[in-house]
Copies of this chain bind each other. A is one copy, B any other.
Amino acid sequence: MYTKSKATINTILEAARTQFIEKNYADVTILDIATRADASKGALYHHFSSKEDLYLKMMHHYLTEIQSVIEVVAENNTGAYRDRLYQSVLVFLKLPHELHSILSLVRRDINIFRDPMRNELIRAYQSAIPEQVEAILRDGLVSGEIQPFDARLLSWQLVALVEVALQPYSRRVMGEPEAVAESVIHLFLDGSATHRA
């Protein structure tokens, strides 16, 4: 087994991530990525069959990483519900910046691919984030801590609020991740007209 190969592949995946985050899919050239990875087009095409293939493999790689981190917290169902929600949001907010960017990227690009590939992307994203949020919220609906409503819709709304909280401006206004998470949970559960405890 050639071990150097693995290293090259990882370097290419990393370079691809950086480039695709920085520029539009069409504006990233194969040569850009290869150069960034200190490799050649030949090396790149030896490991990946096309530009799309590289994009997809890169996405899978990092989405899987995100998923495995979130899973740990999502599956824990001890303690007060509100706190459990808080912990989930917090661990998400504390993900390294590159992984947050990956999520922005998949949402941005999800419409530019056609259907075999598009579907695979959607599935990977869904299972990395929204499905897990939905599972948590379902528990809250069952226990009555959340008023009856569509669980999927609620999960989208929560994700949307967290996404807003990721903006640099938000972090500047709200401060540390702990404060951000608390603020998001407050708005989501109690609303903006309710006084904070």
A163, B164: Cβ atoms closer than 8 Å: no
Mark out the residues of chain A between 141 and 196 whose CB falls within 8 Å of any chain B CB in the assembled complex.
Answer: 145-147, 149-150, 152-154, 156-157, 160-161, 163-164, 167, 169-170, 173-174, 186-196
Q: Which of B157, B161, B174, B193 contacts A190 (CB 8 A)?
A: B193
A173-B192 CB under 8 A given contacts A27-B26, A27-B112, A108-B111:
no
Hey, which chain B residues are within 8 Å of A161, CB to CB? 157, 160-161
Interface centre among A23, A146, A174, A194 (most CB of B within 10 A): A194
Hey, which chain B residues are within 8 Å of A190, CB to CB? 190-191, 193-194
Interface size class of A (residues with CB under 8 A): 35 or more
Nearest residue, chain B, Cβ from A24: B112
Q: Is A48 an interface residue (CB 8 A)?
A: no
Hey, which chain B residues are within 8 Å of A153, CB to CB? 164, 169-170, 173-174
What are the interface flags for A93-114 relative to B under an 8 Å C-beta threshold, 1 for contact and 0 otherwise? 0000000000000001001100
Q: Is A55 an interface residue (CB 8 A)?
A: no
Q: List 4 A-B pairs, minimum CB-CB distance, nearest first.
A: A26-B26, A191-B191, A190-B191, A24-B112
Q: How far is the CB of A52 from chain B (nearest CB, A)?
A: 13
Q: Is A25 an interface residue (CB 8 A)?
A: yes
B191, A111: Cβ atoms closer than 8 Å: no
